[in-house]
Amino acid sequence: MSKIIMHVDMDAFYVSVELRRHPELKGRPVVVGGYPRGVVLSASYEARAFGVRSGMPSGQAMRLVPKLAFLQPTFDDYTAISKSIVAVFSTFTSIVEAISIDEAFLDLTGAVRMFGPAAQIGEVIRAVVSDEQRITCSVGIGPTKFVAKIASKAAKPDGLVEVPPDGVTDFLHPLPVQAMWGVGQSTTAKLNRLGVSTVGELARTPRDTLQRTFGPHAGSMLHHLAWGRDTRPVLVKAVERSIGHQETLGRDTDDPDLVRREILRMADKAARRMRKGEVLGRTITLSVRFADFTELTRSAQAPTPTDVAAEIYAVAVALYERLGIERARIRRIGVRVSGLTDRGRAERQPRLTDPARGWREAEQATDLAVGRFGPGAVRRASLGR
């Protein structure tokens, strides 16, 4: 019996979420990301028509579309919406593999006996996501993960494509090779040099030719995928919980004091999100991107699980100082806390040296003020305006 695999992919997820708050921008080229520094995190389809893509530097995107609208990301919203959507998937099957915040595979092989045809399930999911979240998604259905993924891409935006087992080659073979999942510019260029430009031509290329060009494993994989063969199961995997924040600086800097202030700012934002989510964490990770776009990442353990910015900062800034990069020009700084547990299950162990009232109580008080009067109500003096 063939498997029935569904791939659900949100359409321009970050942008779609932000447009709920900015309906006046619908129909315009819009991106989520930092400007003038930073990169595009998500682009509307109107922006993509001009060549704007995720991962593109913001300045380059603005040169392509001078009237491009930039919106700041709100990651808490994206995470909450993603969890709600995965909960919808789970009403149809327990075999759900979320491969990112905005896409997932579902194994519906057993579910169709209870809920009806796969396409009907897909349309229900699309309708529920649209109704509950006011965003759209695209759905692909096929006998393998590979075919389902390609089908969802063909369905974009806001559509559904189902490929039956006996229609796999008819669906795949007319497609250009670059439409295949995992085939990038380099692989496409090598295939083109072999005279291969469509998936059908790839399927008819001798396997040993592909293995000589791409290696035994990759060559064999390309051959099998061109025929729609993919034995990978949908895996239910536990994703490590983590919360963090990172920002690209307004300009590259080699000022250690400024770097330390930015580490504190990132720690403060991460800690506030942790307290809002009622979680504690112990593993602190500092990431630094330099002016030449190289990166360093280092991690260390806090003495006890924490949601206190001062404690997160103490670990992160110690990591920075141990790097010995005080005079290197830095472009971006990030602080992340992982290994999270619910506060009720891993309450902080008080130490004998702890005061009756300390940073934790102060930060909780600022949370209340910010919740009532807005994000500018209280701020650390060391962070300035």
For residue 31, the cross-strand partners are 43, 70
Q: Is 9 a known ligand-binding residue?
A: yes
Instruction: Give the number of other CB atoms < 10 A from CB of residue 296.
Output: 15
Q: Is 46 a catalytic residue?
A: no
Strands 137-142 and 5-10: antiparallel
Catalytic residue (one of 103, 262, 311, 363): 103
Ranges of H-type helices in the chain: 13-21, 45-48, 58-64, 75-90, 112-115, 118-133, 145-155, 168-172, 185-193, 199-203, 207-214, 216-226, 256-277, 309-323, 359-373
Task: Give the whole-angstrom CA distance, residue 366 versus residue 369.
Answer: 5
Residue-wise over 113-135: b if at least 16 C-beta within 10 A, else e? eeeeebeebbeebbebbeeebeb
Closest CA to 237 of 340, 100, 97: 97
Q: What is the DSSP letter of 361?
A: H
Report which of 69, 73, 12 is spatially closest to residue 43, judged by C-alpha positions: 12
* Tokens matching residue 57: 């530097």
Query: Residue 293 forms beta bridges with which residues?
Result: none
Contacts of 17 (CB under 8 A, 6+ apart): 74, 77, 78, 81, 133, 135
d(CA 244, CA 334): 7
Structure tokens at 356: 């009756």
Q: Is 255 annotated as a binding residue?
A: no
Instruction: Dihedral sign for Cα 101, 42, 55, 5, please.
Output: positive
Catalytic residue IDs: 103
Q: Which residues are annotated as a binding site for Mg(2+)?
A: 9, 102
Q: Which residues are annotated as a binding site?
A: 9, 102
